[in-house]
Each structure stands twice: as C-alpha cells, then as structure tokens.
Amino acid sequence: MDTIAFRNTLGRFATGVCLITVNDAQSGPLALTANSFASVSLDPALVLWSIQRNSECLREYTECAQFGISVLAQDQMALSNHYAKKGAHGIDPAHFSFDDANVPVLSGAVAHFSCDRHVIYDGGDHDIIVGKVRAFSSSDAQPLLFFQGGYGALAAKSD
C-alpha cells in the first residue's frame, strides 16, 4: 500500500484539534497536539485518542491515571503549533488551570474533558487510549479545524 497516498486520503476527513494534557510525576505538566479525538460511548461516558508509539512522551501518556482533552478554539492555532513540536510539551502556566486531579486544563478551549484512563488498545503504530470522562465543560467559541494538512474554520451558518 502507498502509505503517503493513504495518509493524504485520510487527510480528506476534517477534524477538530485538541491538546491532550497530563501531569506526570517525573516530567511535570505536559501538553501535546492531537486530532485523533473521538467519542466512544455515552453510558459509560468514554472518549478516545491515539498516540504514536515513537512519541517522545509515550510513557507519560500511556502510564498516566488521568488526562485531559481540550478542544482548541479558532484563535488557538499558535498553541496547536507549539505543542505539536518535538521537545515542546512542557506547558506554559499562563494558558492553563488545573482540574480536580491536578491535570492541566486549557483556558479558552471550546470544550474540555477530564478523564480517567480506562483502557489502552494496540493500534498498529499507535496506542489507542480510551478515557472515562469524569468532568466536562464547553463554551460557545468556534473550533479550530484541520483538513488536508492545514487549519480551517467553520463557515458562517446560513439562516
């Protein structure tokens, strides 16, 4: 299979952009950019995301008991770019508060989910991390979108 063509075809699916956060005992509070977020179940409330197995933060994210998912707003593209860079995962405290499990929560996000790790599945070159949602919140901000390797925005609603 042509993996580049496959990746480009996957890129035809528009997604939101998230920061996944943890507070690791050794590495401290971390964030990384992901667009692999999806809902799994309403009862129990489960969500998932995936991390590449060659990620420099793999241990922190696969061994954590709790993690956060913050859905980025349109005006948070710079944060998405920053936390997508290798070696740039330590959080800037100016942009975050902490939830009841001391996991970073991004200020100004469209939505936030505080999760307990539920299960991790083998996903080929990724680990699929399923979380049980223990708290969530949302705002009226417009989401940051990702499509064909670039950022986008929702079109204005028509009446």
Q: 57-116: per-residue pLDDT in tens?
A: 999 999 999 999 999 999 999 999 999 999 999 999 999 999 999 999 999 999 999 999
Those residues with Cβ within 8 angstroms of residue 40's Cβ, 6 or more apart along the chain or in another chain: 46, 47, 48, 130
Enter the pTM of the model.
Answer: 0.92
Domains of the chain: 3-149 (2.30.110.10)
Q: What is the pLDDT of residue 156?
A: 65
Instruction: Compute the distance between CA of residue 42 and CA of residue 117 in angstroms, rounded to an integer.
Output: 16
pLDDT higher for 20 or 147? 20
Q: What is the pLDDT of residue 158?
A: 62
Instruction: Compute the distance between CA of residue 159 and CA of residue 157 in angstroms, rounded to an integer.
Output: 7
For 155, the token pair is 């079109």
Confidence band for 157, pLDDT divided at 50, 70 and 90 = low
Instruction: Compute the distance between CA of residue 96 and CA of residue 88 in angstroms, rounded to an integer.
Output: 15
- Residues 155, 148, 61, 24, CA torsion sign: negative
